[in-house]
Structure 1
Amino acid sequence: MTPTDLLKDAFGRIAEDLPALLEGLTEEQLTTRLGPEANTIAWLVWHLTRVQDDHVAGVAGTEQVWIAQGFAERFGLPFDVTAHGYGQSTEEVGQVRASAEQLAAYFAATHVATVAFLDTVTPEDLDRVVDTRWDPPVTLGVRLVSVINDDTQHLGQAAFVKGILESGAA
């Protein structure tokens, strides 16, 4: 297994789990908060997808799927087109409203773009510095693992919220 195969497998597991998470959820469930400032499933899925889209497009030198494929217009969120959720206020979290189908479609398109980029990555590319704002500077490999980590954490959080909602404990 090559390093690229390993990365594709990790991103692929997220792509396998996300549709099942969203399946059957209503917009009301997607926007339910377990507490006054809690993240919603809609925000968690939108955010994890936006971060993946933003970060992969950044290292690939491509336009974000969010913009290039018209998802920003279709979602119609009241944020700057470059917003991806980091640092958003609780009010902004509550403004993310979308159907399960919209969220799944955006993630699927982002996953396709991610895999297309990974198909071009060589083992040597993983050592390329992509962000000098950190000490040590961030390499492509570290950036991609960071995205996977962020995605899996938020996917788990969304699954937890779904489990609470389906149990009737909310």
Structure 2
Amino acid sequence: MDISALLIDAYDRAVTGCRGILEGIDTDTLHARLTENSNSIAWLVWHIAREQDLQIAHLAGREQVWTADGWAERFDRGAEDFGFGDSPEQVAAFRVDGPEELLGYLDAVREAAVAYLRTLTADDLAEVIDDSYDPPVTRGVRIVSIIDDAAQHTGQAAFIRGALGWDAERP
């Protein structure tokens, strides 16, 4: 297996998990929060796609799918909004009409991310992209961080679905 195929496989696990979590879900469950300080499934899936889109676009040197394809307007959110630091009130206010909207954005982000990941070589992954850390952050480390963050949030969304009595489909 080559490096890009390995990264795509790892990247796709959160996407596949999100698809299973959203399968057959109703709007009330999509927006339910376990506590007043918790995230909803809708917010988590949106945030997964946003953080992937924002960071991969930066690495690839291209515009985010969020703005390039009009998703910011469809979601009625700001161009730079990706949920980092959202208050419980902001999370509660996040609403979508249904899972299709989230899946559409998630799939569009996946398509752009996979196209980028296919281009990477071992040398690309070793390139230092942020030397403000010790040790400096390479492109490969940043991609692993993106994948890890998405995996953690996917697990949170699956937990919420299960806690609400819905059995998420296993990929």
Q: Does the alignment reach a TM-score above 0.5?
A: yes
- Counterpart of 1:96 in structure 2 is 94
Q: Could you state the TM-score of these two structures normalised by the residue count of structure 2?
A: 0.92
Q: Which amino acid aligns with 2:135?
A: P
Secondary structure (helix, strand or coil) at the match of 2:161 reads helix
Q: 1:26 and 1:133, CA in 2 relative to 1: closer, same or farther beyond 3 A?
A: farther
In structure 2, C-alpha distance between the alignment counterparts of 1:3 and 1:43, rounded to whole Å: 31
1:7-22 counterparts in 2 under 5 A?
A: 7-22=7-22
Superimposed CA distance per residue, residues 88-107 of structure 1 (whole angstroms, 9 cap, x where no aligned partner): 11111112211200111100
Aligned length: 165
Alpha-carbon deviations, 1:48-70, whole Å to 9, x = none? 11000000000000111111111
* Cα distance, 1:140 vs structure 2: 0.6
Conservation of the 8 A alpha-carbon contact between 1:66 and 1:72: yes
- In structure 1, stretches of 5+ residues that fail to align are none
Give the equivalent residue in structure 2 for 1:160: 159
Q: Compute the RMSD of aligned alpha carbons.
A: 1.2
Query: What SS is found at the alignment partner of 1:7?
Result: helix
Name the structure 2 match of 1:28. Answer: 28
Amino acid in the other structure paired with 1:60: A
Matches within 5 A, 1:45-84: 45-77=45-77, 80-84=78-82
Tell me how far 1:125 sits from its aligned partner. Answer: 0.2
Q: Deviations over 1:111-164 (max 9, x none)?
A: 000100011111110011222332222111000000100000000000000011
1:119 and 1:125 map into 2 onto residues whose CA distance is: 11
Structure 1 residue runs of 4+, over 6 Å off? none
